[in-house]
A = this chain, B = another copy of it.
Amino acid sequence: MSKLLHPDRLFASCPQQRDIARALYHQVADLPIISPHGHTDPRWFAHNKAFGNATELLIQPDHYLLRMLFSQGISMEQLGISKASGQSSDADPAAVWQLFAENYSLFRGTPTRLWMDHVFSAVFGIDELLCASNSASFYAEINSQLARPEFLPRSLFERFNIEVIATTESPLDPLHAHQLLAADSWQGRVITAFRPDPVVDPEYENFPDNITELAQISGIDCSSYSGYLDALRERRAFFKSMGATSTDHGHPSATTADLPRAQCETLFAGALAGSLSAADAELFRGQMLLEMALMSLEDGLVMQLHPGVSRNHNPSLFAQYGRDKGADLPLPGEFVNALKPLLARVGNEADFTLILFTLDETTYARELAPLAGHYPCLRVGPAWWFHDSPEGMLRYRHQITETAGFYNTVGFNDDTRAFLSIPARHDVARRIDCRFLAQLVAEHRLTLPEAEQLAHDLAYQLAKDAYRL
Binding site for B on A (CB under 8 A): 6, 8-17, 67-68, 70-73, 105-111, 113-114, 129, 310, 313-317, 326-327, 329-332, 334, 336-337, 340, 343-344, 347-348, 350, 359-362, 365-367, 369-376, 378, 386-387, 389-392, 398-399, 401-408, 439-440, 442-447, 450, 453-454
Contacts and interface: CB of A to CB of B under 8 A. Distances in A.
Contact of A454 (B108, B129, B374, B392): B108
B110 A402 contact: yes
B391 A399 contact: yes
Contact of A329 (B310, B361, B370, B392): B370
B366 A360 contact: yes
22 contacts: A6-B444, A8-B444, A71-B375, A73-B350, A105-B450, A106-B405, A108-B405, A109-B406, A310-B336, A313-B374, A314-B344, A314-B374, A316-B344, A329-B336, A329-B374, A330-B367, A360-B362, A361-B365, A369-B386, A390-B445, A391-B399, A392-B402
A379 to B, nearest CB: 9
Nearest to A436: B109
A407 B13 contact: no
Contacts of A11: 443
B405 A107 contact: yes
A387 B365 CA distance: 8
Nearest to A408: B71
Instruction: Identify the interface centre among A313, A371, A390, A406: most chain B CB within 10 Å of its CB.
Output: A313
Contacts of A348: 314, 316-317
B71 A109 contact: no
B376 A72 contact: yes
B442 A13 contact: yes
A106 B447 contact: no
A372 to B, nearest CB: 6
A16 B362 CA distance: 31
